[in-house]
Amino acid sequence: MARAGLTPERLTLAGAELADEVGLDQVTVSALARRFDVKVASLYSHLKNSQDLKTRIALFALEELADRVAAALAGRAGKDALAAFGDAYRDYAREYPGRYAAAQLRLDTETAAASAGVRHARMTRAILRGYDLTEPDQTHAVRMLGSVFHGYVSLEMAGGFSHTAVDSQQSWEWTLDSLDALLRGQASS
Amino acid sequence: MARAGLTPERLTLAGAELADEVGLDQVTVSALARRFDVKVASLYSHLKNSQDLKTRIALFALEELADRVAAALAGRAGKDALAAFGDAYRDYAREYPGRYAAAQLRLDTETAAASAGVRHARMTRAILRGYDLTEPDQTHAVRMLGSVFHGYVSLEMAGGFSHTAVDSQQSWEWTLDSLDALLRGQASS
DNA sequence: GCATCTGCCTAAGTTACTTAGGCAAATTGG
DNA sequence: CCAATTTGCCTAAGTAACTTAGGCAGATGC
């Protein structure tokens, strides 16, 4: 019988696409097998189990997102870098909602340590180079930035900002301006 | 045969407890039936289906959290109110992680409109009464506050802040101070 | 070209979801 | 207080997903 040419990488990518299309929790080994027109059991030569698939998608998304953020940050500093960083996250989540959700999956400690999550942490900290912060304020600021960006993107994706007439893009820009002012230690509006 | 005395309310509460103990996605109709020592099919007299259970837990958590926030806000204004609001969210998430996760579930439009989510939105806006903001800045600020609080709590729960030596409580307080300064239109540190 | 390996298969057991229909306990009304 | 009705939990049965074991055939290497 003809071989489908399955590999962990192809399965991971297809799983990521599926997540974007139908939502991360609709990503199942069975659905993936259907997509490749292959029997379910065949996937178990390439994946340990269902959890393994999800983890692979998460790691893939973390890498992809880190690459984008790195590209966006290149050559920028200060508010430019702040906005580029935030936009990269937000754009990724809007373009690939399933992958973004996967990137939030909780990984066990060793997997997380070997993941691109480390790059994310480094890049967040890099943004603050343009501002005049010393420890422990720098760590506080890293956490706050991460919180704002992740929180905003999550709530926006969940439809939380679609009830009011005010445009979400404007709130986003206001937020970026505010964060910049805050980190510069100056008044905002 | 003896009756177990099931009701939608008892099932919802037990589901919430189960979510806190083993995680929201381990909350299944089967697990709930085991907990009541009852056959699975029996629950379907009280629940429409598995999704219905999750939705009920979400609505319950939203109510419970809104009650706590309302109690925390009573009689407070300005930074006091801001901190009370944030603390109420954070404490709830740490005490009831499964319920907090449930409260983030996406509800369909009409369910969401009838939920305590509306109270949450009103209370967030109420905090800003102590600050001198007019529209559309007020809406921007509501969104930013929601983002920071939700983002911080999510990342903290996911273990994102446990890699550095810096205490999360200190970052939280720094964040609250910063937000207060920002909303007052003044420099922070 | 033959041996080996690899990839996808069938088969089968597990767990969870859900509906249909039944029996007995609780409740209600005479 | 008994009869009728309602209600609550049951068994039975079908669907779907996960996962393991073992087999056969296409690909690979000598």
Average pLDDT over residues B29-57: 96
Is residue B175, in this structure, part of any structural domain at all? yes
Nearest to B102 by CA among B4, B29, B27, B156: B27
d(CA B184, CA B188): 10
- Average of pLDDT values for B143-172? 92
Give the least confident one: A105-114, A156-165, B13-22.
Answer: A156-165
Q: What is the pLDDT of residue A188?
A: 46
Q: Which nucleotide is nearest to B45 (CA to C1')?
A: D8
Cβ of B35 near strand D (under 7 Å)? The reply is no
CATH number for B72: 1.10.357.10
* Residue to substitute from B105, B134, B142, B150, interface A, most A β-carbons within 10 A: B150
The predicted structure's pLDDT at residue B135: 87
**pLDDT score of A1:** 59
pLDDT classification of A90: cutoffs 50, 70, 90: very high
Closest residue in A to B183 (Cα) is: A188
Mean pLDDT of B128-151: 94
Q: Do A163 and B121 lie within an 8 Å CB cutoff?
A: yes
The answer to the question of residue B121 being in a domain is yes
pLDDT tier at B1, thresholds 50, 70, 90: low
**Which of A159-163, B92-96, B135-139 is most confident?**
B92-96
Distances (CA, A) of B164 to A50, A59, A113, A162, B159: 31, 21, 13, 36, 11
For residue A92, being part of any structural domain is answered with yes
Residue of least CA–C1' distance to D27 = A3
Instruction: Report whether pLDDT(B62) > 90.
Output: yes
Residue B14 belongs to a domain:
no
**In this predicted complex, what is the ipTM?**
0.89
d(CA A28, CA A40): 10
A106 in a structural domain: yes
Q: Domain containing B105: what range? A: 58-184
B163 CB inside 7 Å of strand D: no
| Residue B160: per-residue pLDDT | 81
Number of domains composing chain B: 1
Among candidates B70, B61, B90, which has minimal Cα distance to B152?
B90
Query: Of all nucleotides in the shown strands, which has a C1' nearest the CA of B42?
Result: D9
**Burial class of residue B50 (count of CB atoms within 10 Å of its CB; 0-12, 13-18, 19+):** middle
Each residue's pLDDT tens digit, B107-123: 998 999 999 999 999 99
Residue B83 pLDDT > 60, yes or no? Answer: yes
Distance of residue B99 Cα from the nearest chain A Cα, in angstroms? 17
